């Protein structure tokens, strides 16, 4: 059934590519990757002539290396005259650089979109992109899939949700937290966050409307990078007497010892997907990715 299809997994998403291959029954191809002493990547792939190719490569750090590796794999497929190319980028880098916040800034997500559009790929799939405005740069062939239902089901199956309130660390993520809370059938609130564009400092004010003392909190976000916003949120929630805090996100980059710092701020656990493989990535994305490619 799938003899003319192949899943090509980049070095950033090997586990996820393997899971997707097993889920779908589509042949897996792992290109040979070599990193030279100067940091250059070299990729060697078998021919995919006339194949329907699905390339999967997340763009977490080292971001620029993972981007060039992705472009190399796409380029090889084009050279081989693959029948069709679908690209899956579970974590889309540069989505926070979606506008000119300060005069003279490059809108880097627009550049990345232009690079990918150059190859005229059939479909681009990503998971919980940080900025919906970023989607506009890619045109009509990008699909942004939500992992919130998967994360919510994992919590329902593995966590005691008695006395839980769902919290978004800011108003911008409130709709995401609302979707999560709806599945859990729990109340939801948000915190009011203000970031200084020049210094990067974050100030958080409460927007409660409900008593949090003794409550169990599920703090829901799309991504955690250095964790500064989550840390300030946890510290504020602890000051308001919450019993414990579970942090749930799609993309856990966890840079600069963020995991340690978040736990020190009061969080009991962090649960994320395997868009970025680490100790917290307990939710596998292969189910929703298979749904996105099975009829392509």
DSSP 104-140: T---HHHHHHHHHHHTT-SEEEEES-S-HHHHGGGGG
Q: Which of 51, 193, 216, 232 is catalytic?
A: 193
- pLDDT for the residue numbered 220: 97
- pLDDT for the residue numbered 152: 98
Q: What is the mean pLDDT of the chain?
A: 92
Strands 216-224 and 244-252, bridge-based pairing = parallel
- pLDDT for the residue numbered 212: 82
Sign for the CA dihedral angle at 130, 135, 137, 141 comes to: positive
Q: Report residue 44 as tokens.
A: 């060697």
Q: Which residues pair with 244 in a beta bridge?
A: 216
Residue 201 has pLDDT above 80, yes or no: no
Q: What is the mean pLDDT of residues 24-28?
A: 95
Which of the four pLDDT bands, split at 50, 70 and 90, describes residue 104?
A: very high
Domain 148-274 belongs to what architecture?
A: 3-Layer(aba) Sandwich (3.40)
Domain limits, the chain? 5-146+284-293, 148-274
Reference 42, options 8, 76, 6; nearest CA is 76
- pLDDT for the residue numbered 140: 82
- C-beta separation of 21 from 287 below 8 A: no
Looking at the domain covering 5-146+284-293, what would its CATH class be?
alpha beta
* Catalytic residue status for 193: yes
Residue 93 has pLDDT above 90, yes or no: yes
Q: Report residue 65 as tokens.
A: 């290396």
Q: Determine the Cα angle at 65 with ends 59 and 70, to 5°.
A: 60
How far is residue 98 CA from its own chain's centroid?
Answer: 16
How far is residue 59 CA from its own chain's centroid?
Answer: 9
- pLDDT for the residue numbered 260: 97
How far is residue 151 CA from its own chain's centroid?
Answer: 12
- pLDDT for the residue numbered 203: 55
Reference 33, options 25, 41, 23; nearest CA is 41
Residue 45 has pLDDT above 60, yes or no: yes
Q: How far apart are CA 61 and CA 261, in angstroms?
A: 19
Q: How far apart are CA 113 and CA 119, in angstroms?
A: 10
Residue 112 has pLDDT above 80, yes or no: yes
Q: How far apart are CA 204 and CA 193, in angstroms?
A: 4
Provide, rounded to the nearest whole percent, the portion of the chain with pLDDT above 90: 82
- C-beta separation of 86 from 50 below 8 A: no
- pLDDT for the residue numbered 24: 93
Q: What is the mean pLDDT of residues 87-92?
A: 98
Residue 1 has pLDDT above 70, yes or no: no
């Amino acid at each position: 059934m799938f003899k003319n299809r192949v899943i090509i997994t980049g070095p950033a998403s090997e586990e996820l590519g393997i899971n997707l291959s097993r889920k779908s029954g589509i042949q897996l191809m792992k290109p040979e990757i070599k990193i030279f002493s100067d940091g250059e990547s070299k990729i060697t792939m078998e021919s995919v002539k006339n194949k329907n190719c699905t390339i999967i490569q997340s763009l977490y750090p080292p971001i620029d290396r993972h981007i060039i590796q992705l472009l190399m794999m796409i380029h090889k497929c084009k050279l081989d005259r693959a029948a069709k190319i679908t690209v899956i980028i579970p974590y889309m880098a540069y989505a926070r650089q979606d506008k000119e916040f300060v005069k003279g800034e490059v809108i880097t997500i627009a550049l990345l979109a232009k690079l990918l559009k150059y190859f005229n790929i059939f479909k681009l799939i990503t998971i919980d992109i940080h900025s919906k405005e970023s989607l506009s740069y890619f045109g009509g062939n990008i699909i942004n899939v939500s992992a919130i239902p998967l994360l919510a089901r994992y919590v329902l199956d593995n966590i005691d949700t008695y006395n839980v309130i769902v919290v978004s660390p800011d108003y911008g993520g409130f709709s995401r937290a609302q979707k999560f809370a709806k599945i859990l059938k729990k109340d939801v609130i948000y915190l009011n966050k203000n970031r200084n564009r020049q210094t990067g400092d974050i100030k958080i004010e409460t927007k409660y409307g409900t008593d949090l003392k003794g409550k169990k909190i599920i703090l829901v976000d799309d991504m955690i990078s250095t964790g500064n916003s989550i840390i300030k949120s946890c510290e504020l929630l602890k000051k308001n007497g919450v019993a414990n805090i579970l942090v749930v996100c799609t993309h856990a980059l966890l840079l600069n010892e963020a995991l340690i710092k978040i736990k020190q701020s009061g969080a009991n656990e962090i649960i994320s997907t395997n868009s970025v493989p680490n100790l917290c990535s307990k939710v596998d994305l292969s189910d929703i990715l298979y749904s996105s490619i099975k009829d392509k």
